Amino acid sequence: MALTYAQAFRIAAPNLLETCYAERISLTPFFVLHTWFLSMIRDDFRGGKINLEKAYKLLEKLNVQCSYIHVKYIFKDNDRLRQGRITIEEFRSIYRIIAHREEILEIFNTYSENRKVLFERNLVDFLTQEQYMLNTNKNFAFEIIEKYEPIEEVKEARQMSLEGFIRYLCSSDCQLFDNDYEKVYQDMTHPLNDYFISSSHNTYLISDQLVGPSDIWGYVSALVKGCRCLEIDCWDGSQNEPVVYHGYTLTSKLLFKTVIQAIHKYAFIASDYPLVLSLENHCSPPQQEVMADNLQFILGDALLSDMLDDFSDQLPSPEALKFKILVRNKKIGTLVETRERRNSDKHGQVQEYEEYEEAEKEEEEDKMKESGALTFLKDYSEKETEPRNLVRLPLFRKKRVKVALALSDLVIYTKAEKFRSFYHSKLYQQFNETNSIGESEARKLSKLSANDFILHTRKFVTRIYPKATRADSSNFNPQEFWNVGCQMVALNFQTPGLPMDLQNGKFLDNGSSGYILKPQFLRDYETEFNPYEIPQTSNPVTLTIRLISGVQLPPSSHSSSNKADTLVIIEIFGVPYDQMKQQTRVIKRNAFSPRWNETFTFVIQVPELALIRFVVENQNFLTGNEFLGQYTLPVLCMSKGYRHVPLFSKFGQSLEPASLFTYIWYVR
């Protein structure tokens, strides 16, 4: 039987590995690398030349991440005879072009004593000085060698070749998002109102809100992404079966029970923490009873239908509510009265109460402007006799609401209560009552009474939803409402774009659990934080980013090859003082390996709320720049050192291996 090159090497020089390790000298790099490379590919060339498809598979066999479109054009450039088939030497050239990136070779040579291999001590120096792993030792360095070094002879000598260094630096261990935040690490025992909660709006829709289809996939997709608050728009259906759709439109309809079945199946796929079903309930009492029966029968023990604590006056924690599903709806009476009715027959029992309905529709407001009917109410604090500021509030009208007791009693900690004013909530709102506020009104309140808004969200779960005029399912920027502590900032998950990029980026944190503990200044009863003012006790971050290069970026859709005129925009989202944007120069006709080597510095006053977004574009003067990819994450979740920034498409799909290569450094 024929020997492999590695076996032949051992027979020819049986003691060389031990000598190299003992004397800290390197193996002959050309011989070892040549031996390893040939041993990996020689069988594929026994039949002679190989075509593009085989070359692509062979690169995958060598654990080189590559984009087919880039391999296609590099293959074409190296196919000297233009026959669609290449020799082993031509393949070696393709491999070097894709794998042996110049910027990584430069780093390797800086830390290699002989520009051939890294000894353990060299790798320790690199990890300590460049990757900020201050407690690194030789044992940890060898763990990295064992994990990433592909050449057995080099690995056994406890060394790392350029091949291993490339694989390490391009791995998930060197991505921008710090691995420590990929698990739940925050204290999950605070009350629910202390967390930002991933929330969706009109979750059943997968396109526009007028004629688009309703689909179970909308709920499944949101749950898989870690969403923890789903909206269910409920209406009376035929044959006493409630349906889910966008009322008074031509959107298709789903059976309520089918929606609940799908939710039950996928509720805790991405997160163990509580799921809230926010019912936009337009059903008659008889069909509300059907909804209650569906919820109890389908969800079973997962449905929270009683208090966890008899005497508590604060919401329970996500930890206490693990694997529980909560119903958010109108409610009759108190939690104590609900418990007293437990196990009683509630069939046919309906109660009615008055609530104030907000006349907030844009068109109604315009009519009121014309008639002069819009009123201004003065917002007084509890201790002041003079108005602190003048806040424009919507008109309210009384409305009688009928609620089936069977459904009402399934609402425990998430009772839906109409928001009237911060002052009214301070006097009368109960701890288990939540508010929904439209984006337009919430925006006015945040600008005119930001601190009052924060004090409100300090106590009460507050949900912000898109205005009714967003018929195309567009989204608002959620950052402005996170800045004032709003827990449930509900977005149309079906609509890609900047707002959903921010949503997805923010909730990468804390293990993508859908719950993120709010900063202390948004949880403090005595807080004086105002996002529109620079905090007196600010602990800013000075962030420096060296954008080195792009790696196999998506080519322009307007290009007939793998080219693009690439540029990168780096944006900071947070409090208004931190909003900023910087941009690289344009690298012409290069999407494969553009080199920028540009450095950017940002001073971020409130890093606890800040997100950073990297956007890659193709410059186009005629039609506007073309989006190629983006990545968004919290500023405080970034790793330092040499890091790859993965890129995602407009629709949130991974564009791997496309990435940006950066060097990150920051101080607080």
Q: Does pLDDT of 211 surpass 90?
A: no
The amino acid at residue 150 is: P
Residue 544 pLDDT greater than 50, yes or no: yes
- pLDDT classification of 394: cutoffs 50, 70, 90: low
User: Is 82 in the same domain as 158?
Assistant: no
Instruction: Establish how many alpha carbons lie within 13 A of residue 521's alpha carbon, considering only the half-sphere containing its beta carbon.
Output: 18
Q: What is the mean pLDDT of residues 389-410?
A: 74
What amino acid occupies position 55?
Answer: A
Same domain for 83 and 131? Answer: no
Give the residue with greater pLDDT, 634 vs 136: 634
C-alpha span between 556 and 529 (Å, rounded): 44
642 shares its domain with 504: no
Show the tokens assigned to 495: 């609509």
Is pLDDT at 595 greater than 80 in this prediction?
yes
Give 1's contacts (C-beta < 8 A, 6+ positions apart): none
Question: Which among 492, 522, 552 is the end of a domain?
Answer: 522
| 351 vs 396, higher pLDDT | 351
Query: How many CB atoms are closer than 10 A to CB 334?
Result: 12
For residues 513-517, average pLDDT: 98
CB 403 within 8 A of CB 288: yes
Confidence band, pLDDT 50/70/90 cuts, at residue 19: very low
> What pLDDT is attached to residue 214?
75
User: Looking at 290-413, which runs of residues are DSSP E strands?
Assistant: 325-328, 350-358, 377-379, 389-391, 396-404
561 and 651 together in one domain: yes
Do residues 614 and 631 lie in contact, with contact meaning Cβ atoms separated by under 8 Å? yes
97 compared with 25, residue with greater pLDDT? 97
327 lies in the same domain as 433: yes
Predicted pLDDT at 361? 46
Kindly indicate the confidence band of residue 376, based on its pLDDT and cuts at 50, 70 and 90. very low
The residue-averaged pLDDT of 582-600 equals 98
Residue where a domain terminates, one of 468, 488, 522: 522
- Is residue 651 in a domain? yes
Instruction: Write out the two tokens for 103.
Output: 């910027």
Nearest alpha-carbon partner for 143 in 130, 132, 166, 127: 127
Residue 331: pLDDT band with limits 50, 70, 90? very high
Of 151-165, 426-440, 465-479, 542-556, the least confident: 465-479
Model confidence band, residue 275 (pLDDT cutoffs 50, 70, 90): very high
Query: Within this chain, do residues 293 and 414 fall inside the same structural domain, yes or no?
Result: yes
Cis-peptide into 540, omega within 30 deg: no
- Residue 446: pLDDT band (50, 70, 90) is very high
Q: Where are the alpha helices (DSSP H) in 157-284?
A: 162-169, 216-224, 256-266
Q: Is residue 18 part of a domain?
A: no
Considering the domain architecture, whether residues 167 and 210 belong to the same structural domain is answered as: no
What is the Cβ-side half-sphere exposure of residue 263, based on CA atoms within 13 angstroms?
32
Give the pLDDT band (50/70/90) at residue 396: low
209 and 155 within one domain: no
* Contacts with 162 (C-beta within 8 Å, 6 or more apart), sequence order: 100, 104, 105, 108
Tally of domains within the chain: 4
Cα atoms found within 13 Å of the Cα of residue 446, Cβ hemisphere only: 23
Residue 409 has pLDDT above 70, yes or no: yes
Strand ranges, E, within 453-540 = 462-465, 488-491, 515-517
Question: Residue 6 — very low, low, confident or very high, per pLDDT cuts 50/70/90?
Answer: very low
Residues 205 and 296 grouped into a single domain:
yes
For 542, phi and psi rounded to 5 degrees?
-100, 110
Domain of 514: which CATH number?
3.20.20.190
pLDDT score for 415? 97
Question: With 50 as the cut, is the pLDDT of residue 537 above it?
Answer: yes
Residue 13: count other Cβ atoms within 10 Å of its Cβ: 15
Let me know whether 155 and 196 are in one domain.
no
- What per-residue confidence (pLDDT) applies to 337? 92
Res 239 pLDDT > 60 = yes
**What pLDDT band is residue 399 in, cutting at 50, 70 and 90?**
confident
The answer on pLDDT for 351 being more than 60 is yes
3 state DSSP class of 337: helix
Using alpha carbons, select from 545, 519, 550 the residue that is nearest to residue 639.
545
Tell me, yes or no, whether 14 lies in a domain: no
User: Do 321 and 188 touch, CB atoms closer than 8 A?
Assistant: no
**Better pLDDT: 359 or 386:** 359
User: Does residue 362 form part of some domain?
Assistant: no
Burial class (CB in 10 A: 0-12, 13-18, 19+), 374: middle
Average pLDDT over residues 26-48: 79
Least trusted range by pLDDT, from 78-92, 110-124, 209-223, 622-636: 209-223
29 CB contacts (<8 Å, ≥6 apart)? Answer: 116, 117, 161
587 shares a domain with 478: no
Average pLDDT over the chain, rounded to whole?
89
- Show the 3-state SS of 155-187: HHCCEEEHHHHHHHHCCHHHECECHHHHCCCCC
Kindly list the catalytic residues: 201, 246
Rounded Cα–Cα distance for residues 30 and 271 (Å): 50
| pTM attached to this predicted model | 0.89
User: Average pLDDT in the 66-84 region?
Assistant: 96
User: Quick check: is 636 in a domain?
Assistant: yes
Check residue 271 and give left, alpha or beta (phi > 0: left; psi -120 to 50: alpha): beta
Reply yes or no on whether the pLDDT at 8 is more than 50: no
pLDDT tens-place string over residues 143-169:
999 999 999 999 999 999 999 999 999
Report d(CA 154, CA 163) in Å as an integer: 10
Query: Do 75 and 111 belong to one domain?
Result: no
On whether residue 312 sits in a domain, the answer given is no
Q: Among the ranges 238-247, 314-323, 393-402, which has the highest mean pLDDT value?
A: 314-323
pLDDT band at 578 (very low <50, low <70, confident <90, very high): very high
Residue 356 is predicted with a pLDDT of 67
Q: Which domain holds residue 133?
A: 102-174
The contacts of residue 386 (CB under 8 Å, 6+ apart) are none
